[in-house]
Amino acid sequence: MSLLITVPPNLVQSIRAFRVTELQDEAGRLGQHFLYAHCLAGVTKQQVLALIAESFLLPKSLGKNFDVLRGCLTETMHKAGAQPGFLVVLEQLPNTQKFDKEARETLLDVFRDAADFWAEKHIPFRVFYSFE
């Protein structure tokens, strides 16, 4: 039985009861890309975006702009060829003066937009996140 049997194929949600290792194993079982970023070391938007870019092997130019991240997660990946699906974990998103609740919500909105993009193409794109 699938670990994600009750989880819709395109969503952004708190990691809650899931463990990162279980999600990674499930991505492998499903043949999907597993993208993981541990973001606690980021203090500013630029640092958090740079951590995500480095972890996901995305262009370094991503480090300054939510729109560039959105483009990488959607059109750039789509142009790279057929995709089997994505399981994304953003662990320990920081809560700092320079990466506050508004910045976290904007970041999660980028991932929600990506989930919607892939839903239109019938490709799973699940994102799990936690805050520090």
In this prediction, residue 61 carries a pLDDT of 72
Q: What is the pTM of this model?
A: 0.95
Residues ≥6 apart with Cβ < 8 Å to 36: 20, 24, 55, 88, 89, 91
In this prediction, residue 102 carries a pLDDT of 94
In this prediction, residue 132 carries a pLDDT of 84
Among the listed ranges 88-92, 94-98, 121-125, which one has the minimum average pLDDT value? 94-98
DSSP per position, 36-57? EEE-TT--SHHHHHHHHHHHHT
Share of the chain above pLDDT 70, in %: 98
